[in-house]
Amino acid sequence: MAVPLVNLAPNLTVSKLCLGTMTFGEQNSLPESFRLLGGALEAGINFFDSAEMYPVVQQAETQGRSEEYLGRWIRESKIPRDSVVLATKVTGPSGQMTWIRDGPKCLDARNIADAIDGSLRRLQTDYIDLYQIHWPDRYVPMFGETEYDPTRQFCSIPIEEQLDALGRAVDSGKFVQVAERSTYRPKIVSLQNAYSLLCRTFDSGLAECCHHERISLLAYSPLAMGILSGKYFSPDGGPPDARLNVFRGKYSEGESRYNLSNHIIRAAALEYIKIAEKYILHPVSLAIAFVLSRSLVASVVFGATKSWQLQEVLDGCKVELTPEVIAEINKVHERVPNPCP
């Protein structure tokens, strides 16, 4: 069974699964990355997500490698460019990643234009199919924050300037299918937010907005950084090369949201794993199938460092959850809503 396809925008058809590349160049070598990309394409995945700041954990020495590996795979494997959909992202304001345009103070037109040119060069392509702003220029609670603090607000670049910059890139041919072109500016067609059994915050507000504006969700972290696979609940704490073990103490964004020492997160994850066991499903299949069942989800962005992990996700794409399973999932969610916001 091939991975199903969906129309993300006019003339832009993507697979319901999207292989994220943020491990390429850090946890995955070039040959390993090629094997994962080839396996995904063979299974029917045509959608690949990257970012100029990848791989993670971010550092100057490796910045851009994920895009480079993806571009080299297309070129060296002689993959027809029009058979794959490439998505990448521009880094937002960052006081830490000083190696990316001096740690951009803002996401203005110049930063967007420079980022696009850099990504095109690393990807070895003439155009990007879907271009994304990695995080907003303005202050907004994100990456696990749940409360808005008005004292942290600051002057930010207007979204109109950002859309104008993206529109100029469309007109110059650097984006072919970035968005539906309106009279003046490109139309936003997708939003990439975390969504999983442990994080359904998208449903509270954003879902309504996206529905009315016809914006699809690209759901990332469907396994809650691997927690929902169950691998971290073994007596030894999981494989030593698992992300939360490899980067312990080095990955603040991941550890703040997916804190294994948090008993609420552990308890909720174990309840979902028990549901999978009850219905004779692999925990990964339960997690992936659940996210795919959401009406506004166009594609699920997942990561894999090994071929068998890729296969587990592919298997989840074949599962259709029954109303009984969904009901049990919702009961857990009612008791423990969004422990990984």
Catalytic residues: 54
Identify whether the C-beta of residue 133 lies closer than 8 Å to the C-beta of residue 89. yes
Phi, psi of 130 (to 5 degrees): -140, 120
Task: Say if residues 285 and 321 touch (Cβ distance below 8 Å).
Answer: no
Pairing of strands 216-220, 190-194: parallel
Q: Which amino acid is at 308?
A: W
Put residue 23 in one of left, alpha, beta given phi > 0 → left and psi -120 to 50 → alpha.
Answer: alpha
Beta strands 130-133 and 190-194: pairing type?
unpaired
**Tokens 């296969």 sit on residue:** 311
Length of the chain: 341
Q: Tell me, what amino acid is at 112?
A: I
Cβ contact 286:312 at 8 Å: no
| Chain centroid offset of residue 48 CA | 10
